[in-house]
Amino acid sequence: MSSWPWLQSGRIGDPQTPSLGSLAVSDFLRSYLTVAIFGAVALLLAGGILSLGRLIRPSHGNAEKLLTYESGVDPTGDMWSQSNIRYYVFALLFVMFDVEAVFLFPWATRLEAYGVFGLVEMGIFILILLLGLVYAWRKGMLRWV
Amino acid sequence: MIAQVLAQAFESPTIDYHALAPEIVLVSFAALLILLDVVLLEKGRTFISALAGIGLLATMLPILTLAIDGTDRVMFGGAYVVDDFSLVMKAMFVLSGYVVVLLSTNYIAEGDYWENEYYGLLLASLTGMVMISSARDLISIFVALELLSIPVYMMATWRKRDIRSNEAGLKYYLMGVFASAVMLYGMSMLYGTAGSTLLVDIGEAVGGEETTSIVTLAVIFTIIGFAFKVSAVPFHYWAPDTYEGAPTPVTAYLSVASKAAGFVALLQLVMVGFYARDDVYEPVLWILAAASMTVGNLLALRQENVVRMMAYSGVAQAGFMLAPLAVAGKIGDDAVVATVTYLLIYAAMNLGAFAVIIALARKTGSATLDSFNGAFHYAPGLTVVMTMFLFSLAGIPPFGGWFAKFAVLAALIDANTAAGVVLAVVAAVNSVIALYYYGGLARRMWAEEAPDGDLTPVRVPVSLVAALGLAAGLTLLFGVFPNLVSEVSDVSLISTLGG
């Protein structure tokens, strides 16, 4: 580690370490070396773990084992299965109410402290979100036909 | 901890309603559009685009009164600042939005599109842009950036029965989310270093004596996130596909307003947050600028589709706008002035070029370069203004573009460093390359024969004429009286450091 003092100190503009090993490196390059090392570590970490797993894991496949995993039951049907687009709309609506709740709870716990200011602000917030619900309702998104 | 929080008395923040008036007007109009859509459904189609236009013009009023008032207003402990810089950019966003409404009116009405939602989303996205001009805090910047991006993801897929439009939206969405993730990673490190999300505090924490590795990483990740947004090389590859597939008015909006919003955030981050760390941000911006100009122009030479050509030309223009930032440490606020000047002029001439593309496509129904052949014989007026926009984009006087290029080159030379001069040479060489393809398109329109000898004139609707007139007038005005632009773009970010 002693030949990498700039890594140990966590500072790369350290004037006492003007060289990297035997190579003379300018301040400019050394500051960007951090980025290169960071990128290399990211790649090595992902690549290394994946290839390590491949190297050390046993591989004795049989028909049962190679079956696609589907929550413990035998998979049925094609891998290309379509789900109803309406689920997507309901998921979106759920997110809308979810976000509303996230902001409403902290406000509700301190309702009195926030006073009229908080009430008006929250009113505007809920009104705008409500507009989204009215929109979905009016466009027939809430009907399950 | 919780008891402590609960014990604190809540002080409602002082809100300067005059300073927030542009945002309030825009949001109210966006909400009004959705409300009308909900009540009237399809009956609203006849006037909803006009109402969106009125909303944008109404937003200009508070911006003008704030500009006349002229005092810098700082809110929320410095997180939201209304100063000259933000007012100029707000005005630019709102006016570009107005031109985009004009461009969209017939395009969206005549296609098989949802119309009311389109304008609601456009106004929501513009609200994000108006907010980002004032945001001087990581959280405000990020919220504004998402607010301006998410509606555009949907607008890019507006031609929903066209597979290319679907591709455009999906690509833009995936790249946008990826860029946000990279940027957030950088921002998290900035917060870790400074212990505050305010850009002013980050400026103090980042600008110490030494460059620490965490600061280098933070600055570079944050800049790369915005490099995606402004489609700088090597983060540009989503742009041509998205521009080609999206409805052309949305492309115009993406290439002008959305790009400018990325620059606004980048300017604020670099000039307020990273300013003292010029040893870190200058090299990376230098490379981005030089690569964007060169690669953008060289790839534009080979395009057969005019929208793809404009996409690569936009990449190259983004390089020009980045260039002053690459020497910002030497010239300070002059870099902001040069970039803002370029943004204002670029908005006028690029929107104009897209207006002509939309107008001509009404007859040809195509966007290939061949379809522009012989346009002079059936649309002489459009050909003349298109030539003007193209020459302006190439930087030929007396059209606005020359002053934009002049401002950037002057800023680079002013820096008086080898890096600045080399970048100025790269920019100058690229201006010449760009002239080849801009001039090539103009030549097709004037000199070639129209395909199939079809000379029926183009019917240009009123709203497009208005958009063309506005863009052409401004392009010419900026070129002949450049002091108009320099007067407006004489803004500063560094002096508000104390704010």
| Chain A partners within 8 Å of B37 (Cβ) | 135
* Cα distance between residue B101 and residue B98, in whole Å: 5
Distance from CA of B164 to the nearest CA of A (A): 21
Q: What integer pLDDT is reported at residue B498 of this predicted model?
A: 41
Q: Is A106 within 8 Å of chain B by CB? A: no
Is B211's CB within 8 Å of A113's CB? Answer: no
Coarse DSSP helix, strand, coil percentages of chain A, rounded to the nearest 5 percent: 65, 5, 35
Residue B5 lies in a domain: no
Q: Is the peptide bond before B240 cis (omega within 30 degrees of 0)?
A: no
Q: Is A128 within 8 Å of chain B by CB? A: yes
The residue type at A79:
M
Specify the DSSP class assigned to residue B75: E
User: B100 vs A75, which has greater pLDDT?
Assistant: B100
- Closest Cβ–Cβ partner in B35, B217, B283 for A34: B217
| Chain A partners within 8 Å of B31 (Cβ) | 128, 131
Is B38's CB within 8 Å of A138's CB? Answer: yes
Residue B121 tokens, joined: 């989303």
Distance from CA of B280 to the nearest CA of A (A): 7
Residue B332 lies in a domain: yes
Q: What integer pLDDT is reported at residue A55 of this predicted model?
A: 92
Residue B415 sits at φ, ψ, to 5 deg, of -60, -25
Residue B6 lies in a domain: no
- Closest Cβ–Cβ partner in A38, A110, A128 for B10: A110
Residue B2 lies in a domain: no
Distance from CA of A96 to the nearest CA of B (A): 15
Residue B55 lies in a domain: yes
With CA atoms as reference, the chain B residue closest to A127 would be B31
Residue A20 sits at φ, ψ, to 5 deg, of -110, 105
> With 0-12 CB in 10 A as exposed, 13-18 as middle and 19+ as buried, what is A116?
exposed
Q: What integer pLDDT is reported at residue B7 of this predicted model?
A: 59
Partnered with residue A24 across adjacent β-strands are A19
Is A31's CB within 8 Å of B37's CB? Answer: no
Is B12's CB within 8 Å of A115's CB? Answer: yes
Is B34's CB within 8 Å of A135's CB? Answer: yes
Residue B8 lies in a domain: no
> With 0-12 CB in 10 A as exposed, 13-18 as middle and 19+ as buried, what is A36?
exposed
With CA atoms as reference, the chain B residue closest to A14 would be B210
Buried b (16+ CB within 10 A) or exposed e, B83-108: bbbbbbbbbbbbbbbbbbbbbbbbbb
Helix segments in B365-379, DSSP class H:
375-378
For residues B313 and B302, the answer to whether their CB atoms sit within 8 Å is: no
Q: What integer pLDDT is reported at residue B436 of this predicted model?
A: 93
For residues B208 and A11, the answer to whether their CB atoms sit within 8 Å is: no
Residue B7 lies in a domain: no
Partnered with residue B81 across adjacent β-strands are B74
Residue B195 lies in a domain: yes
**Token match 């600028």: residue?**
B289
* Cα distance between residue B402 and residue B477, in whole Å: 12
Can you tell me whether residue A19 is helix, strand or coil? strand
The closest alpha carbon to B391, from B340, B446, B339, belongs to: B446
* Cα distance between residue B250 and residue B420, in whole Å: 35
The residue type at A38:
F
Where are the extended beta strands (E) located within B333-468? Answer: none
* Cα distance between residue B135 and residue B465, in whole Å: 35
- Closest Cβ–Cβ partner in B6, B35, B213 for A34: B213
For residues B138 and B197, the answer to whether their CB atoms sit within 8 Å is: yes
Is the pLDDT assigned to residue A3 strictly greater than 60? no
User: B413 vs A87, which has greater pLDDT?
Assistant: B413
Distance from CA of A81 to the nearest CA of B (A): 21
Q: What is the CATH number of domain A85-138?
A: 1.20.58.1610
Residue-by-residue pLDDT tens, chain B, 499 positions: 556 655 566 677 778 889 999 999 999 999 999 899 888 877 878 888 899 999 999 999 999 999 998 888 888 888 899 988 999 999 999 999 999 999 998 888 887 788 888 999 999 999 999 999 999 999 999 999 999 999 999 999 998 888 999 999 999 999 999 999 999 999 999 998 888 899 988 988 888 767 678 888 899 999 999 999 999 988 998 999 999 999 999 999 999 999 999 999 999 999 998 888 888 899 899 999 999 999 999 999 999 999 999 999 999 999 999 999 999 888 888 899 999 999 999 999 999 999 999 999 888 888 888 888 888 988 899 999 999 999 999 998 889 999 999 999 999 999 888 999 999 999 999 999 999 999 999 999 998 888 777 788 888 899 999 999 999 999 999 999 988 888 888 888 875 544 3
Q: What integer pLDDT is reported at residue B88 of this predicted model?
A: 93
User: Structural domain tally of chain B?
Assistant: 1
Q: Is B4 within 8 Å of chain A by CB? A: no
Q: Is A11 within 8 Å of chain B by CB? A: yes
Q: Is A13 within 8 Å of chain B by CB? A: yes
Q: What integer pLDDT is reported at residue B100 of this predicted model?
A: 95
| Chain B partners within 8 Å of A31 (Cβ) | 211, 213, 216, 279-280
Q: Is A70 within 8 Å of chain B by CB? A: no
The closest alpha carbon to B138, from B88, B212, B189, B95, belongs to: B189
Cα–Cα distances in angstroms (integers) from residue B24 to residues A93, B27, B151, B231, B310, in the given order = 25, 5, 18, 30, 34
Is the pLDDT assigned to residue A27 strictly greater than 70? no
Domain containing B220 equals: 13-498
* Cα distance between residue A37 and residue A4, in whole Å: 13
Buried b (16+ CB within 10 A) or exposed e, A67-80: eeeeeeeeeeeeee
Q: What integer pLDDT is reported at residue A12 of this predicted model?
A: 44
For residues B99 and B115, the answer to whether their CB atoms sit within 8 Å is: no
H/E run at residue B106: helix B84-110
Q: Is A141 within 8 Å of chain B by CB? A: no
Residue B60 sits at φ, ψ, to 5 deg, of -65, -30
pTM of the model: 0.88
For residues B399 and B391, the answer to whether their CB atoms sit within 8 Å is: yes
